Structure 1
Amino acid sequence: MRAGLVDRLAELSRGAGEPAVIVDRPDVTVVRSGGTVLKAHAPRLDPAALATRLRVAAHPLLAGILLAPLGELSPVEGRHVSRWPYGAPVAPDAPEAAPWREAGHLAARLHAVPVDRLPGPLPPMAGPANAARAVAALRATLTAPAPRIPADPVPAPGRTRASAPAASAPPHAPTPAPQRLTAPERVPAPNGTLAPDPASAGPGPAADRTAAALVLRAWERLPAWARDDEPRAQPRSLLCHGDLHLGQLVRHPAPDGPWHLIDVDDLGLGEPAWDLARPAAGYATGLIPAADWAAFLGGYRAGRGSAVAPGDDLWPPEVDVPARTLTVQLAARALVDAATGVRPLDDTDHDLLAACARIAAMGDGTGPGGAP
């Protein structure tokens, strides 16, 4: 089925140039041909909501913020396919030139768009639902026959992380991180025992179960609204991207046009702090340098973004619970990928799992210092 989909997308785009597969996963397939990109969206997405998201991206109020699609959805091999102009992505070999400030500024502009002037009805931003889906997948993996979550050998001291922006989690070398998510390497768990460091547990079924249990314990420490269990008190309904990270930025026109946000699959109404959660989680877990996080936050505040208060606080309380939630989501997704043979755990995954151990030893984020 997927091979037929790739072939069909390549055939449809061939007139623009020699087709090349950019992404080919069970949920998403992306093919580029010259200046045109075709994307087959995840089957789980509601086509009516997706069509609305495309209309929003094409609206004049989003010009210069979201990349505009080339037309509407088309059915291809039983999937819903959108067509886009090609934009040059963030250079993977130049992390020092990553557009952190520009990303923050684009997020602020997105959040300021008046939603009552946009096509509707707009669906909810998919942030908490995506987190709940990742944890549900982890639970399903644990109940499957003979679950197995392979782990890489324990990295030696002084290990290095990837130096290029990645879609799965923010990279870069470790730096001092905010107090809320950082703690000694091993911290007391809520039951009085010592929370294990998943990176040192070693491979094997016991380690697999230990890592998954840590993630699930961290999940239960989150407020109900962050787990998508109940509506949030005093919810906000601003236009949000829903899955903001450096992999969602491109220059258009390529190669050196202004930066635009891409990928509208999770676009919708919701809490704007969620769009700051991915880089915040990277900073809090030591995966993004303080300077990069400060640049992102500075760009957001310079754009008068409403998710956080003005000032120079590098850890505004509004981002705390979303950052914890994204950390748990990414760790759960990594364990599922490892269990299903998509890829083994890497250094970034071990850092996320260690952060989950620290989150598991915290409160539920509803008191002082956490988002309400």
Structure 2
Amino acid sequence: MRHAGGGDPTVDHIVLKATRVLVVRVGDVVVKAHEADTDEAALKARLSVELPAGLMLRALSVDRVGGRIVTVWPAGTPLTPDDLDDAPWEEAGELLAELHRQPVPDGVPMMGGPERVTRAVARLEPDDLPRRAYTTLNLNQRRRVLTHGDWHLGQLLRHDGAWTLIDPDDLGWGDPAWDLARPAAWFANGLMDPAGWDRLTRSYLRAGGTAMSGDDMWRELDGPARALTVQLAAVAVANAREDGVPLDDAAAALMSSCERILTAPPLS
């Protein structure tokens, strides 16, 4: 397969991800085969969103190969586990704030965050704790802001000497607090260093981010953080069941939070 990156497709490749999505680095580009049931029209609408240079990596090409949508991207340098002790939280906050200031284009779908929660819970048994906690959530979007839809540290890439956002598969309109929901859930569950959380939120607010207020950020973050806690717990339970292994300590912390979600009313 020839691609728009100008690299040689015969060079050695490195498999970066092999789940329902296949991601392979080939020379100077990364090739991504999307899930078989991907909504092609919605993905193309997301990929066509015009953003300021350097804010989010743009696809080099979009094709259909063997019944699946395949996109090709410039290769960059992702974060590694060694980077997490000093993760680029300030840069992340600035990038998210800039994204949330962009206008919402006509025709772009709703961001994919709530659908991800629902898909994760669908893998569970009816009496599983995260599934019961799911029934208490409000997944409605109260605001119409351009959001990433699935943001975490893995969505940062160093390209041309600067950090940029990647993976617009869930880009769309919605409540910008959802882009901070995963780190908020990590922090609330004791899985994220408070110093990192402080660096991220201070940077976001300094850069003009509007997902939350500086005086009481949990008023906006509580609902999305609950949803991401349920999602992460659901994935942990489903994966452990499929692999025949017990839950690890991080999953146990998420399960404890699901217990609290069932009994504690939301803040808003």
Global fold match (TM > 0.5): yes
Partner residue in 1 for 2:112: 126
Residue 223 of structure 2 corresponds to residue 321 of structure 1: yes
Q: 2:156 aligns with which of 249, 254, 267?
A: 249
Matches within 5 A, 1:166-177: none
Runs (5+) with no aligned partner, structure 2: none
2:220 corresponds to 1:305: no
Name the structure 1 match of 2:33.
Answer: 40
CA deviation map 1:10-61 (0-9, x unaligned): xx97537311111001x200000122000011223210110111111xx2x3
Q: Do the aligned partners of residues 89 and 16 (structure 1) sit closer, same or farther apart at CA in structure 2, a change above 3 Å counting?
A: farther
TM-score by length of 1: 0.67
- Match of 2:124, SS? helix
Query: Could you tell me which residue of structure 1 aligns to residue 174 of structure 2?
Result: 270
- Residues 322, 91 of structure 1: alpha-carbon distance in 2 compared, 3 angstrom cutoff: same
Which has the higher mean CA deviation after the structures are superposed, 341-350 or 46-55? 341-350
Mapped to 2, the partners of 1:348 and 1:332 lie a distance apart of: 12
Hey, which bits of structure 1, 4+ residues long, moved more than 6 A? none
Distance in 1, matches of 2:7 and 2:67, equals 17
Partner of 1:284: 188
2:86 is matched with which residue: 93, 97, 122? 97
The 2-side partners of 1:324 and 1:316 are apart by 11
CA distance in 2, matches of 1:82, 1:342: 34
Q: List gaps (5 residues or longer) in structure 1.
A: 1-6, 143-208
Aligned pair count reads: 266
Letter in 2 for 1:292: G
Shift of 1:132: 1.4
Q: What letter is aligned with 2:58?
A: A
Task: Quote the Cα distance in structure 1 between the aligned partners of 2:179 and 2:31.
Answer: 25
Equivalent position of 2:97 in the other structure: 108
The answer on whether the counterparts of 2:2 and 2:9 sit within 8 Å (CA) in structure 1 is no
Which structure has the bigger radius of gyration? 1
Contact 1:104–1:296 at 8 Å: present in 2 too?
yes
The one-letter amino acid of 1:222's match is L
How far the C-alpha of 1:111 sits from its partner, in A, is: 0.6
Q: Report if the CA contact (8 A) 2:7-2:28 is conserved.
A: no
State the TM-score, normalized to the length of structure 2. 0.92
Distance 2:121 2:208 in 1: 34
Q: Is 1:108–1:306's contact at 8 Å kept on the other side of the alignment?
A: yes
**Whole-angstrom distance in 2 between the partners of 1:17 and 1:258:** 26
1:84 to 2:77 alignment: no
One-letter code aligned to 2:151 = L
Q: Relative contact order (alpha carbons < 8 A, sep ≥ 6): 1 or 2 greater? A: 1
**Contact 1:13–1:32 (Cα < 8 Å) also in 2:** no
Mapping for residues 1-372 of structure 1, pairs under 5 Å: 14-15=8-9, 17-25=11-19, 27-56=20-49, 59=50, 61-71=51-61, 73-115=62-104, 118=105, 120-139=106-125, 212=128, 214-223=129-138, 226=139, 231-232=140-141, 235-253=142-160, 257-311=161-215, 313=216, 315-341=217-243, 345-363=247-265, 365=266, 370-371=267-268
C-alpha RMSD over aligned residues: 2.2
Give distance in 2, aligned partners of 1:30 and 1:284: 31
Deviation for aligned residue 1:333: 1.2
